[in-house]
Each structure stands twice: as structure tokens, then as C-alpha cells.
Structure 1
């Protein structure tokens, strides 16, 4: 099992890994969760999959086991910035505007952590292992990408997962319903160095 950080500058070095990641996202979010998201050629994507983003893939032998996307909070693409901020600005109809208690941050070392998933075919134990690998990969972005803090929308019980790897979270908004499940916006400050 390995972790790879993908960008528009390096996807050509990794064969089908990026398209396989987008296919695995489609399976997780469109097929399994029934979310109404854009898709083409069996791949899920949206307006936040731009050259400013990075994608973390946990994979084994070319098979995607999990992944997530990181987008700087300073990102701009047309009228869009990043998902949480755009929801707060009323640009998205699937995420409530009251997702945050205060104005969405814009800072060079703060990134949005989104499209976090684990492959559904994994056993319970393997899912836990992949989740830990995903969170360790997130911590590693402090050294590789300069990420000091990551904010995202997730299940309120994420706090227990973060505690398992000594990564405290702060709640940035109320618990809200998104696509039929309870979620809330959270931020974690990454440790100074992770090896």
C-alpha cells in the first residue's frame, strides 16, 4: 500500500492513477452515496478539480483504496474559490450557507480537505488501515505542500479518528444535513513536521 500526491504537473508520471482515482470517487460518491455530481466517462469531478488542487491516492498495485483532494483556500477559478467558502457565499445549492460560524478563511497555508473516501470493497479492518493512511498522508502535506491547517466537511464522529493519531480538530460550524447525512465543518492544525 502506498500514498501518491498527484498534481497536473506530475499525473503523466503515474499512468492511470489519476483517472482511476476519479473513477473510484464516482463509485464512492455517485454510485454508493447517490450524490448528484458531474461525471464523464465513469469519472466524478467538479469545478474544484483545477491545477491549484492536489489529490492524494492510497493505492496498491494500481487499485485505488482511498483518497482525497486538497485545494488552497486562496484558489480562484472563475467565480469559484473553494467548496466551503462557495457554499457560505450561496454559490452551491447542495451545502447549506450556514456551514460556518464565521467567514471562511483565506490564507496561503490553509487548505480545504475534500472528497475524502475509502473503497467500499475493503473489509472493516482494511478500511481502518486505509483511513489511518489517508490521515497520515494529510499530515505529511505539511512538509510536502506547506499545509499548516486543513478544513473540511465530514461526519461529526471524525473527531474520534483524528484523536487516534493525535490530530485535534476544532468545529467551525453547526451540524447540518448534506445529501441526507449529518456533517459539520472542522479544521485541524497539522503538526510542525511529520515523518
Structure 2
């Protein structure tokens, strides 16, 4: 099992991994969760998949087992910034504007984690390892990019399952249900003394 951080600068070195990640996102979010998201040629994508982002994939023999997208909270492409902030600004009809307890930050030391998933094909006995590999690579990558905190929009169980990995995240908004899936914003402090 491998864990790879992709960027626009290095994705050419990893064959079909980026395409396979977007296909796995489609299976997770569009097929399994029944979310109405942009898709083309069997891949899920949105306006936040830009050169400013990084994508982390846990994969084995071409199959993507888990993934997450990291985007700086300073990102700006046309009218869009990052998913949590744009939702709070009322720009995304699929995510309520009251998803957070405070104003979404714009800070070079804070990165957003979104599109967090673990494939439902991962057997129960491997889930903790896959989750751990994903989170530890996310933390390593975020720190290497200068992040001191990660603000995440993902499954409401996220703070609990990273707790089983010895990591901590604090809820930063209410638990909401989007198309039958419970989601929540959480903040993870990347202080090395905590992780």
C-alpha cells in the first residue's frame, strides 16, 4: 500500500493516479452518497481542483483506497476561494451557509481539507491502517506547505476516527445532514507537540 501526494507539478510522474483518484471520488460521493456533483468521463471534480491544491491518495495496484484534497485558505480563482468559505458566503447551494461557528479564515497558515473519503471496498481489518496512512500524509504534506492548522469539511465521524489514531480535531460547526450523510467542519491544530 502506497500513499502519494499529488500536485499539478508532479502528477505526470504518477501515471493514472490522479484520474483514478477522481474516479474513486465519483464512486464515493456521487454513486455511494448520491450527491449531485460535477462529473465527466467517470470522474468527480469541482472548481476547487486547481493548481493551488494538493491531493493525497492511499492506493494499491492502481486502486485508490482513500483520498483527501488540501487547498490553501488564501486560494482565489475568479469568484471562488475554498469550499468552506464559499459555502459560508452563500455561494454553494448544496452546503448550508451556517456550517461553521466562526468566520472562515483567510490565512496562509491554515489549509482546508475537503473531499475526504475511504472507499467502501476497503475491508474492515484494513480501514484503520488506510485512515492512518491518509491522515499522517495529510498532516505531513500540510506542514511541508507551511500549515499550522487544517480546517476540514468531511464526515461527522472524522474527529472520532482520527482520535483512534492518536490525533485530535475539534468540531467547528454543527453536524449537518447532506443527502443522508452526516457532515461537519472540524479544525486540527498541527502543532508537532500534539501529533
Label 1:62 to 1:29 Cα distance change in 2 as closer, same or farther (>3 A). same
Instruction: Provide the TM-score with structure 2 as the length reference.
Output: 0.94
The CA distance in 1 between the partners of 2:143 and 2:158, in whole Å, is: 23
Q: Segments of 4+ in structure 1 off by > 4 A?
A: none
The CA distance in 2 between the partners of 1:185 and 1:151, in whole Å, is: 7
Structure-to-structure mapping, 1:175-190, within 5 angstroms: 175-190=175-190
The CA distance in 2 between the partners of 1:140 and 1:123, in whole Å, is: 25
Label 1:41 to 1:51 Cα distance change in 2 as closer, same or farther (>3 A). same
Q: Does 2:115 match 1:130?
A: no
Any gaps of 5 or more consecutive residues in structure 1?
A: none
> What is the Cα deviation at residue 129 of structure 1?
1.7
CA contact (8 A) 2:115 2:154 kept: no
The answer for the alignment partner of 1:164 in structure 2 is: 164
Q: Aligned pair count?
A: 195
Any gaps of 5 or more consecutive residues in structure 2?
A: none
Q: CA RMSD in A?
A: 1.7
Q: Does 2:111 match 1:82?
A: no
Which range is displaced more, 20-29 or 156-165? 156-165
The CA distance in 2 between the partners of 1:120 and 1:9, in whole Å, is: 30
